[in-house]
Structure 1
Amino acid sequence: MSAYVPEKGDFITLSFDPQSGYEQKGRRPALVISNFLFNKATGLAIVCPITNTNRGVPFHLPVPSSSSLMGFVMVEQVKSVDFKTRRAKFVEKAPAQLIEDALAIVDVCVK
């Protein structure tokens, strides 16, 4: 059986330790926003962590109620992670609209 390689739009859980400052820490869910080819070639995945706390931040996207997860995708904390070392586990696929919205926010932030 081959090792799991995340795909764009996967909700996963992984360890965000170590962290510093305002970064999320501990094992938590995240949304993968990088594509499969990038992830497979580099062993990294670009993710946005998910928090349970609604702080009214405009860059936070609510996880749809149809998901088994609850919370808000923290698009401003986009991060590249080694998914093998951080023991990433697949949870479920995110809705297409959530992925599009997250990528649009990232695009606006980095232009």
Structure 2
Amino acid sequence: MNPPEFPRPSRGEIWEVDWSPGRGSEQTGKRPALVIQNDHGNHSSLYPNTMVAAITSHGREIPFHVFVRKARLNGLMSDSYVKCEQLITISKERLIGKAWGKLTEDEMGQVAEALRRSLALT
């Protein structure tokens, strides 16, 4: 029997995610998220999950948030913040449609630094 087909996200892509049901202050509804998991896991048909960071248009200038200007490349509809303290492992089934776009290498470098701060890896 073949494993089920899942979307194949890539690190750095922005996808719409069905966050529901959320609890407490977790994200809910359909909202954009940045794929932060490595592509080995993302592209494996044997691994049905991926890791994402929430994206919001109502972020703050804090060390865990990365400001991203809306651009054709990333597909965002407004200037936004990647919330590198709000991380979650989700089933790839929660990814809706196809990727909106992707972040630049510079933006992903900023995300990597914010993730290191958030997870106390520096």
TM-score interval (norm. to shorter): 0.7 to 0.9
Measured in 2, the distance between the counterparts of 1:108 and 1:58 equals 7
- Root mean square deviation of aligned Cα: 1.8
Aligned match of 2:101: 92
Aligned match of 1:24: 27
2:22 equivalent to 1:15 = no
Change (3 A) 1:104 1:96: same
Count how many residue pairs are aligned between Structure 1 and Structure 2: 109
Which of 47, 58, 63 in structure 1 is aligned with 2:63? 58
- CA radius of gyration, larger in: 2
Measured in 2, the distance between the counterparts of 1:51 and 1:6 equals 20
2:114 equivalent to 1:105 = yes
More strand by share: 2
More helix by share: 1
Greater mean alpha carbon deviation, residues 13-22 or residues 58-67: 58-67
- Say if 2:35 and 2:50, in contact at 8 Å, map to a contact too: yes
Query: Normalising by the residue count of structure 1, what TM-score does the alignment of the two structures yield?
Result: 0.85
Aligned match of 1:48: 53
What is the DSSP-based 3-state SS (H/G/I as helix, E as strand, rest coil) of the residue aligned with 2:75?
Answer: coil
Q: Between the two proteins, what is the percent identity of the paired residues?
A: 28
Measure how far apart 1:15 and its partner are.
Answer: 0.5
Gaps of 5+ in 1: none
Runs of 4+ aligned structure 1 residues displaced above 2 Å come to 54-58, 64-68, 108-111
- Say if 2:55 and 2:81, in contact at 8 Å, map to a contact too: yes
Corresponding letter in the other structure for 2:15: I
Change (3 A) 1:94 1:75: same
Gaps of 5+ in 2: none
Q: Could you give the per-residue CA deviations for residues 34-77 of structure 1, whole angstroms, max 9, x where no partner exists?
A: 12211224211111111111333331111223243121111100
